[in-house]
C-alpha cells in the first residue's frame, strides 16, 4: 500500500523518520510522500530522513518556532491559521499514486494532538483517498494534562479521520529505561507492525509471488466504516534454507506433507499469539467489526491452509463475519510473522480509563485555578485593606 505520510509534532516526526528508515532498509516502498509538520523548529531540525524541503514549520507568528507547549487547543488554532501553507505543502504529493494518507501524532502533546485533526479535515475535503491517522496514547505516568489532551484529541481524530489506528505507549513502556532509549525501542516496534501491515499491499517486494496476496483494497475495506483499530503481531525466526535445494533433497511426497503440516501449525500458532498477545491498543477482541490477517515471510513458509485456519480462528474469537487474510511474501526474510489488524474495536477499557482520568484532571485544574485566584487576592491585599496600588 502506498501512503502519503504526515508526521505531525515531535512524536509524529520521529515515527515518520523511522518509517523512512524502515522503507530504505527493507525496500518496501510504502512511503510515497513524507511531510513533517511542527510548531517547534528544533524538533524539525532533529529529523534525519525527512528531506529538508518536506519539513513545514507552522504557527511562527504565534509561537515563534518554540512549540505550543502541550496546549492542543493552540495546536488546532495555529494549524487552522496556517492551513493554506499546509495544504500547499501537500500539493506535490502525487495523489493518483497514493492509496491513502496517514497522519502520525502523539495525542498527549499540543501540535500533533491539536493540529493533526485540522489537517485531516482539510485533506478529506480536498482528496478522494482515505485519510487515516496513527495516534499515540501517552503513558499513564506522564501526568494528567497529557491524558486530558489525549482524551480530547482521540475523540476529535475519530470524528475527522476515516480511521484511527492506535498505539498505546503505556502498554509498551519498560521500567529502568531512559525516555529516549525507550522511545527508540517503541518506535521500532511501531514501524515493524505497521510496516508489515501497509507493506502487504505491495506485491513486488523481493519479487516473490504470493499464493493469496493481500491487496491494498483489502486494507482499505477493513478500515472502511471508520472507528478505531488495534494491531497484533507475532514472529518466529527461521533457519534459512534454499527451497529448491530442499525439495530436491526431499524427493518424496511424505516429507512434503510433513513440512506442509509444520508450516500450517506454525502459522496458526503465530495468528493466536498475535491476536492474544500484546496489542498496540490493549482491548477485548470479541466484538471486533472487521479484521485482516497478513502472513509474511519467504513464500515456501506460507500456505493457504494455514491462512485459512488462522482466518477461521479469528472469526470465532472476534465474532466478526468480515475477516480477510492473505500473504505478504518476502524472499530474504529470516522470519515468519503474523500481523492481525482488528478494526472497529469498541470494548476498550483503556480508553474509558483515559477519559475518567481526563475528566478528573479537568475538574482538578478548575478547582486549583479558582483556589489560586482567591489565594493570590489574599496574599496581595493587606489585612485591613489599608494599602492601595500605585495606579
Ligand atoms: N511512541 C512515541 N511516543 C512519543 C515520542 N515522543 C513523544 N511521544 C509521545 O507524544 C506525546 C507528546 O507529543 P509530542 O509529539 O512531543 O508533542 P508535539 O505534538 O510536538 O506538541 P508540543 O511539543 O506540545 O508542541 C508524549 O506525551 C508522548 O506520549 C516518541 O518518539 N515515540
Q: pLDDT (tens digit, 9 = 90+) per residue, 8-51?
A: 999 999 999 999 999 999 988 899 999 999 999 999 999 999 99
The count of residues in the chain is 391
- As for how many domains the chain has, the answer is 2
One domain, residues 154 and 52: yes
Closest of 50, 37, 27 to residue 79, by C-alpha: 37
Residue 129 lies inside a defined structural domain of this protein: yes
What percent of the chain lies above the pLDDT cut of 90?
A: 76
Q: What atom of ligand 1 comes closest to residue 149's alpha carbon?
A: 27
HEC letters along the chain: CCEEEEEEHHHHHHHHHHHHHHHHHHCCCCEEEEEEEECEHHHHHCCCCCCHHHEEECCHHHHCCECCCCCHHHHHHHHHHCHHHHHHHCCCCCHHHCCEEEEEEECCCCHHHHHHHHHHHHHHHHCCCCEEEEEEECCHHHCHHHHHHHHHHHHHHHHHCCEEEEEEHHHHCCCCCCHHHHHHHHHHHHHHHHHHHHHCCCCCHHHCCCCCECCHHHHHHHHCCCCEEEEEEEEEECCCCCHHHHHHHHCCHHHHHHHHHHHHHHHHHHHHHHHHCCCCCCCCCCCCCEEEEEEEECHHHCCHHHHHHHHHHHHHHHCCCEEEEEEEECCCCCEEEEEEEEECCCCCHHHHHHHHHHHHHHHHHHHHHHHHHHHHHHHHCCCCCCCCCCC
- pLDDT, average across residues 160-184: 88
Residue 108 C-alpha to ligand 1 middle, in angstroms? 7
The predicted pLDDT at position 260 comes to 87
Q: Determine if ligand 1 sits within 6 Å of the CB of residue 69.
A: yes
One domain, residues 57 and 183: yes
Contact 275, 212 (CB under 8 A): no
One domain, residues 35 and 156: yes
Q: Assign 254 a pLDDT band (cuts: 50, 70, 90).
A: very low
Question: Given 302, 326, 343, which residue is the final one in a domain?
Answer: 343
Is 111 a known ligand-binding residue? yes
One domain, residues 229 and 268: yes
- N-term to C-term CA, the chain: 66
Q: Determine if ligand 1 sits within 6 Å of the CB of residue 267.
A: no
One domain, residues 108 and 156: yes
Does residue 253 register a pLDDT over 50? no
Q: Determine if ligand 1 sits within 6 Å of the CB of residue 186.
A: yes
ipTM value: 0.99
- pLDDT, average across residues 205-209: 56
Residue 158 lies inside a defined structural domain of this protein: yes
Does residue 255 register a pLDDT over 80? no
Residue 373 lies inside a defined structural domain of this protein: no
- pLDDT, average across residues 59-71: 96
Is 229 a known ligand-binding residue? no
Does residue 309 register a pLDDT over 80? yes
Does residue 207 register a pLDDT over 90? no
Which range marks the domain in which residue 232 is found?
224-343
Q: CA dihedral defined by 167, 171, 177, 183, rounded to 10 degrees?
A: 0
Residue 105 C-alpha to ligand 1 middle, in angstroms? 7
Q: What atom of ligand 1 comes closest to residue 68's alpha carbon?
A: 25
The partner residues of 336 in beta bridges, in order of sequence, read 236
Residue 128 lies inside a defined structural domain of this protein: yes
Residue with cell 472487521: 290
Residue 17 C-alpha to ligand 1 middle, in angstroms? 14
- pLDDT, average across residues 280-299: 96
One domain, residues 139 and 182: yes
Question: Residue 181 maps to which CATH number?
Answer: 3.40.50.1440
46-60 per-residue burial string, b: 16 or more CB within 10 A, e: under 16 = ebebbeeebbbbbbe
Q: Assign 390 a pLDDT band (cuts: 50, 70, 90).
A: very high
Does residue 257 register a pLDDT over 60? no
Q: Determine if ligand 1 sits within 6 Å of the CB of residue 10.
A: yes
Residue 25 C-alpha to ligand 1 middle, in angstroms? 25
One domain, residues 170 and 261: no
Residue 210 lies inside a defined structural domain of this protein: no
One domain, residues 127 and 182: yes
Question: Given 343, 362, 386, which residue is the final one in a domain?
Answer: 343
- pLDDT, average across residues 354-381: 91
pLDDT, the chain, mean? 91
One domain, residues 295 and 194: no
Q: Determine if ligand 1 sits within 6 Å of the CB of residue 70.
A: yes
What percent of the chain lies above the pLDDT cut of 70?
A: 93
Closest of 386, 270, 276 to residue 325, by C-alpha: 270
Does residue 310 register a pLDDT over 50? yes
One domain, residues 271 and 337: yes
Is 187 a known ligand-binding residue? yes
Q: What atom of ligand 1 comes closest to residue 139's alpha carbon?
A: 29
Contact 153, 72 (CB under 8 A): yes
Distance of CA 323 to the CA centre of its chain: 21
Residue 156 lies inside a defined structural domain of this protein: yes
HEC letters along 198-242: HHCCCCCHHHCCCCCECCHHHHHHHHCCCCEEEEEEEEEECCCCC
Q: What atom of ligand 1 comes closest to residue 71's alpha carbon?
A: 24
Q: Determine if ligand 1 sits within 6 Å of the CB of residue 14.
A: yes
Residue 40 C-alpha to ligand 1 middle, in angstroms? 12
One domain, residues 268 and 312: yes
Q: CA dihedral defined by 49, 50, 51, 55, rounded to 10 degrees?
A: -150
One domain, residues 37 and 143: yes
Does residue 107 register a pLDDT over 80? yes
Residue 204 lies inside a defined structural domain of this protein: no
Question: Residue 330 maps to which CATH number?
Answer: 3.30.1330.20
Q: Assign 370 a pLDDT band (cuts: 50, 70, 90).
A: confident
d(CA 90, CA 125): 13
Residue 17 lies inside a defined structural domain of this protein: yes
Q: Assign 229 a pLDDT band (cuts: 50, 70, 90).
A: very high
Q: What atom of ligand 1 comes closest to residue 13's alpha carbon?
A: 15
Q: Determine if ligand 1 sits within 6 Å of the CB of residue 78.
A: no
Amino acid at each position: 500500500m502506498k501512503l502519503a505520510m504526515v508526521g505531525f509534532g515531535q512524536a509524529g516526526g520521529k515515527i515518520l523518520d523511522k518509517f523512512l528508515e524502515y522503507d530504505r532498509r527493507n525496500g518496501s516502498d510504502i512511503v510515497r510522500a513524507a511531510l513533517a509538520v511542527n510548531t517547534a523548529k528544533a524538533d524539525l531540525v532533529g529529523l534525519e530522513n525527512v528531506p529538508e524541503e518536506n519539513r513545514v514549520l507552522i504557527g511562527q507568528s504565534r509561537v515563534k518556532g518554540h512549540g505550543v507547549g502541550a496546549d492542543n487547543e493552540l495546536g488546532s488554532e495555529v494549524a487552522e491559521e496556517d492551513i493554506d501553507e499546509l495544504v500547499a505543502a501537500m500539493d506535490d504529493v502525487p495523489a493518483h499514486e497514493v492509496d491513502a494518507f496517514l497522519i502520525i501524532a502523539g495525542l498527549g502533546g499540543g501540535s500533533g494532538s491539536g493540529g493533526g485533526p485540522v489537517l485531516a479535515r482539510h485533506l478529506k475535503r480536498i482528496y478522494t483517498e482515505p485519510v487515516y491517522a496513527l495516534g499515540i496514547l501517552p503513558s499513564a505516568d506522564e501526568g494528567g494534562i497529557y491524558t486530558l489532551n489525549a482524551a480530547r484529541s482521540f475523540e476529535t481524530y475519530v470524528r475527522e479521520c476515516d480511521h484511527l489506528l492506535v498505539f498505546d505507549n503505556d502498554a509498551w513502556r519498560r521500567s529502568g529505561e531512559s525516555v529516549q532509549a525507550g522511545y527508540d525501542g517503541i518506535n521500532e516496534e511501531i514501524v515493524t507492525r505497521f510496516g508489515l501491515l501497509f507493506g502487504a499491499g505491495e506485491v513486488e517486494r523481493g519479487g516473490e509471488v504470493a499464493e493469496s496476496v493481500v491487496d491494498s483494497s483489502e486494507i482499505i475495506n477493513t478500515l472502511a466504516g471508520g472507528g478505531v483499530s488495534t494491531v497484533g503481531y507475532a514472529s518466529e525466526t527461521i533457519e534459512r534454507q534454499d527451497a529448491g535445494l530442499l525439495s530436491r533433497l526431499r524427493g518424496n511426497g511424505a516429507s512434503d506433507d510433513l513440512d506442509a503440516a509444520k508450516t500450517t501449525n506454525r502459522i496458526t500458532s503465530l495468528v493466536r499469539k498475535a491476536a492474544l498477545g500484546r496489542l498496540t491498543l490493549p482491548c477485548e477482541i470479541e466484538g471486533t467489526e472487521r479484521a485482516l490477517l497478513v502472513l509474511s515471510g519467504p513464500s515456501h513458509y506460507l500456505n493457504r491452509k494455514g491462512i485459512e485456519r488462522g482466518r477461521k480462528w479469528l472469526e470465532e474469537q472476534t465474532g466478526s463475519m468480515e475477516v480477510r487474510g492473505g500473504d505478504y511474501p518476502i524472499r530474504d526474510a529470516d522470519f515468519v510473522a503474523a500481523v492481525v489488524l482488528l478494526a472497529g474495536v469498541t470494548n476498550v477499557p483503556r480508553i474509558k480509563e483515559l477519559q475518567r482520568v481526563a475528566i478528573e484532571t479537568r475538574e482538578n485544574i478548575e478547582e486549583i485555578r479558582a483556589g489560586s485566584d482567591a489565594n493570590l487576592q489574599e496574599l496581595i491585599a493587606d489585612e485591613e485593606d489599608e494599602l492601595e496600588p500605585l495606579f
